[in-house]
Amino acid sequence: MTVFDRPGVIADIAAALRDQQISVESMLQHGRSDGADEPVAVVITTHETTEAAMRRALVGISAVEAVAEPPCVIRIEGL
């Protein structure tokens, strides 16, 4: 997903995951771009969860004001 790099954004995203009982396994956030208000990439890997819970979390994540565009999901199986 891409977000505007502002204080509290990751906390808001984590809250949307928490509300659906989804645990974060890892997170990668690329550094701030040259433009002060340019979005940056964030990749979050979660522990196993249901598709329904993830869909509900995506609704919450999309509602975060600093999320620049709708997040996408890539299913990872068998790790």
Per-residue pLDDT at 3 exceeds 70 = yes
Structural domains in the chain plus CATH codes: 2-62 (3.30.70.260)
Residues 6+ apart with CB under 8 A from 12: 64, 66
DSSP state of 67: B
Q: What is the pLDDT of residue 78?
A: 75
pLDDT of residue 37: 79
Please tell me the pTM assigned to this model: 0.89
Interval 20-73: pLDDT, tens: 999 999 999 987 766 667 899 999 999 999 999 999 999 999 999 999 999 999
Cα gap 12→68, rounded to integer Å: 14
Per-residue DSSP letter, 72: -
